[in-house]
Structure 1
Amino acid sequence: MTAQPTAADDRAHLAVDATIDHDHPAIRALARSLRGASAEETARALYLHVRDEVAHSYDVDRWSAAVRASDVLAAGDAVCHGKSHLLVALLRAEGIPAGLCYQRLEALHALAAYRLPGQSEWVRIDARGNRPGMDAQFAVTPAEERLAYPDVPLEPGVHAAVPPVLAAGLARGVPGVASFDYIPTAL
């Protein structure tokens, strides 16, 4: 059984920081423009926008190295970390608690988790972007989760902020340089 989230959990997973800058006017405007009739419809629209409209750098060979949510939105591309930061920022801008999750590939892969109002369980959603062999989809319950890398175990926890070791690695990304070498392999 999952414990009910506390007010402190919600505050942490709704907070603004240097990376999840959902107080930025462009983030707030996009979130507002995609708002649905319910929190679920809003979360779905935000997810689909980031998954399908913001390119994954590897897939398009355009390497912005954007990490801050507002920078990802402006660049129009990022690796999974930047895309996850943008998705979390958009969800938080709409008052939906959201955080970051990770999987260990050759480098840490980032995805988002969110919790609908009145729910106690986190639902992981992977906005990496689909391509042949990858079919990440929006989910409303943990049982429905469909991640880009379904067979890769998840690191424990839903992080309210980017872990320091990962933030330091992401800060070494260089615009225009195709690389994942700066992303750590573990937290």
Structure 2
Amino acid sequence: MNPESQQIEDYLVSDQIVDWEAPAVQQKAADLTRSISDDVEKTRCLYEWVRDTIPHSNDAGIDLVTCTAKEVLQHRTGICFAKSHLLAALLRAVNIPAGFCYQVLRLDPPVNNQLVLHGFNGVYLRSLERWLRIDPRGNTGGIDAQFSVEKEQLAFSMEPAAGEFIYDTIFAAPARTVVNRLRKYNSRTELWRDLPGPF
């Protein structure tokens, strides 16, 4: 894992997508972590809340596209990218540096070996002095992503022979191609026909 920036402050920024300075996002982060002082347990709490409380739009059959952290929190749904935007915002709101990771996977079900992106998070835990990757996509259909400081457990395994891989970079901001695609569509059904691919 290689952070895109060596400036940890870049992973604490509030911007148009990771809008953690929005009052609702700040309040939710504060409410969830009020009784927790340890950064590892704060991260676990926020991660499990986004993973388990915000349903993945496709799993839930919700035909809405959300993008910003505030939108995901307001509508209580999002696809993997949107959920990663919310988790990063909640973490940043409690001063835990968080970034963005991307995995290239075959479209499921496969169509002409098409490859698409899957998004999740990288988080820097100061108490451990290291980065972890965590995937808040949501555990449905046999998926079992977990928070662990010992062994990484993401949502999807990979088949390198099929061209699947994880970008080694932990990005400070969401990939522009992802944001543009989420902004292009109002309907998840339409977005599903035009998911972002490798960059």
Contact 2:25/2:89 (CA < 8 Å) preserved in 1?
yes
Partner Cα distance (2:129, 2:37) in 1: 21
Partner Cα distance (1:57, 1:148) in 2: 16
Larger mean Cα displacement after TM superposition, 167-176 or 31-40: 167-176
**Does structure 1 residue 122 correspond to structure 2 residue 131?**
yes
Larger mean Cα displacement after TM superposition, 149-158 or 92-101: 149-158
CA deviation string 1:67-92 (max 9, x = no partner): 00000000111100000000000000
| Structure 2 residue aligned with 1:14 | 12
Contact 1:172/1:182 (CA < 8 Å) preserved in 2?
no
Unaligned runs of 5+ in 1: none
Partner Cα distance (1:150, 1:9) in 2: 30
Higher strand share: 2
Partner Cα distance (1:146, 1:178) in 2: 30
Partner Cα distance (1:132, 1:175) in 2: 23
Quote the offset at 1:31 in angstroms. Answer: 0.4
Q: RMSD of the alignment, in Å?
A: 2.0
CA deviation string 1:129-162 (max 9, x = no partner): 0013210001225xx1100003252112011111
Partner Cα distance (1:182, 1:18) in 2: 23
| Structure 2 residue aligned with 1:24 | 22
Contact 1:125/1:137 (CA < 8 Å) preserved in 2?
yes
| Structure 2 residue aligned with 1:38 | 38
Contact 1:108/1:185 (CA < 8 Å) preserved in 2?
yes
Unaligned runs of 5+ in 2: 108-115, 159-163
How many residues align? The count is 182
Quote the offset at 1:117 in angstroms. Answer: 1.2
**Does structure 1 residue 146 correspond to structure 2 residue 144?**
no
**Does structure 1 residue 180 correspond to structure 2 residue 192?**
yes
Partner Cα distance (1:182, 1:68) in 2: 19
Larger mean Cα displacement after TM superposition, 49-58 or 131-140: 131-140
Partner Cα distance (1:169, 1:178) in 2: 10
AA in 2 matched with 1:90? L
**Does structure 1 residue 98 correspond to structure 2 residue 105?**
no
Partner Cα distance (2:9, 2:102) in 1: 21
Contact 1:58/1:178 (CA < 8 Å) preserved in 2?
no
Quote the offset at 1:10 in angstroms. Answer: 0.9
Structural mapping, 1:67-106, within 5 Å: 67-105=67-105, 106=107
- Classify the secondary structure of the residue corresponding to 2:168: coil
